[in-house]
Amino acid sequence: MNASRILYSVFLVSVLVLMGWKSAMADDMKNDVLRAGQFSMSESGGREYGSRQMSFDGEGKFYFAKGDTINSETQTGVGVFVLGLQNRNLDELKNVAQALCDKDIQAGGPETYDPPATFSVTCLEEGRLVTRTGSLRLIPEKFRKKVFDGPLRLAEQAWVEGRKLIKLDFTTLSAEHKNGHFIVSIRFMNSGDRRIKFKTPDQWPGSMVGGDLGVAPFSKIGKIDPRDDWGFALAGKKLINQDDFPDGAVLLNPGESKILKFDAIPDNKIAKGEYEFSGLAFMRIECEGDIWSQQTQVDFRPIKTRITIDRDYPSTPEERQQWEATHRAGMSSQPVKPGATFAEDGLYRPVRTSGGHRGLLLKPFKAGDVATTESVTMPMDSKYAGSTIDGPVQWVWEATAPTPVKQWSLDIIEDTAQFCKPGSDCPSNGRWIRRHPPGYP
């Protein structure tokens, strides 16, 4: 996943029912004993996202589990919380259970299957305790306010005021430049009552299901507009302090935090300055005992922090070649088609829209330029001398455009020069083509 886009992906507030969440609350509730009026409500969002579940033990405790804060503007991390109830709140949840036991509670509809949303409730029927299950989506409109208003309000209260059975967060500590790379330090924190364990992110494949981790600037300090033009994708990257985790796992005891340091390269150019950093994590975690003994999928935003980047990237010819190689690979699948607008400055190579023949020469374009719809004639990048492309083309980003040393300057940063005079050293690596300018013998 491209780390520079992580802050602005639109996710549905979806959640997944997993045994981990249930185990966490069942363990605390001693759920082997049925009580009249106890209930739970869960929604599912598939394999990629975390879970949300609201439960009442039938006596005086309300539990809220949330494993998905990707789409939240105010909440970070994931966790399971317990809230003690009294008076009005207690009576309100008993009324919820009474409504869920009503014979008409499944008279609504229509049912949908993506994502699933279910409930279970223990009812007292003719002196016997009976567990009923059903779909939240089949609850009729006349019951919905009574069933949902109280639990949703208490869920927000539990997140803020409840005791933390489980709470996991992360934050970015620093991004320090060293030898053409960056050392990005991330702190994972456990502020709950239970131990948390997960694989080190260097083993993650960089996918929502298998595990992904990225950090990026939410905004530059002093600027109002959010940004999404660069970041650090950390899943699968080298873990510098791997010796601190010899079994390939991070184990966080209650109240403990641990720092992980990654060798990383940003996925786009960086202008030095102070930034407010955010990010994302998709991961599987487990806890001690019966709590999340099966790996549980969670996804969440980190606690934002201010990070200083003390130099531009790239700043040296070696860094520019490094960045260009990465950027070229990413842009290879995003050609600018005839009539389309160029999204960024650069040197672009023409490629025939039919046949895929590549032009030999590069042409500079600026962001906002529009690609021609007319035929292009140019020598072909071919072992056959004299071959040409002649027809409609699309343009593929190849290299940095000639860049002034400073704004309005006529002098060009040496290793971004497109042309090299006779007798001069080539300013950068690459394939250089001999050309005779007009008037040259």
- How do residues 378-413 score in pLDDT, each as one tens digit? 888 876 566 888 899 999 999 888 877 777 777 776
Q: Highest-confidence range of 8-22, 139-153, 210-224, by mean pLDDT?
A: 139-153
Locus of tokens 């933390």: 164
Given this model, what pLDDT does residue 325 score?
87
> Could you give the CA distance from residue 58 to residue 100 in angstroms, rounded to a whole number?
13
187 and 239 Cβ atoms separated by less than 8 Å: no
Whole-number percent of the chain with pLDDT over 90: 53
Tokens of 407: 């704004």
Q: Is 145 exposed, middle or buried, given 0-12, 13-18 or 19+ CB atoms closer than 10 A?
A: exposed
> Could you give the CA distance from residue 300 to residue 305 in angstroms, rounded to a whole number?
15
Q: Which own/partner pairs from 426-430 qualify as long-range (CB within 8 Å, at least 24 positions apart)?
A: 428/317, 428/320, 428/321, 429/321, 430/399
Which residue ranges make up each domain of the chain?
A: 3-165, 168-309, 317-402
214 and 6 Cβ atoms separated by less than 8 Å: yes
pLDDT reading at 139 higher than 50: yes
Whether the predicted model's global pTM rises above the 0.75 cut: yes
Given this model, what pLDDT does residue 20 score?
44
Given this model, what pLDDT does residue 322 score?
85
Q: What is the pLDDT of residues 44-94, one digit of tens each?
A: 766 777 778 999 999 999 999 998 998 888 899 999 999 999 889 999 999
Question: How wide is the angle at C-alpha 414 spanned by C-alphas 413 and 416, nearest 5°?
Answer: 70
Comparing CA positions, the residue from 13, 64, 32, 37 lying closest to residue 120 is 37
Interhelix angle for 141-161 vs 87-100, to 10°?
140
pLDDT reading at 226 higher than 90: no
Start-to-end CA span in the chain (Å):
52
Q: Which fold, 168-309?
A: Immunoglobulin-like (2.60.40)
Locus of tokens 């694989």: 199
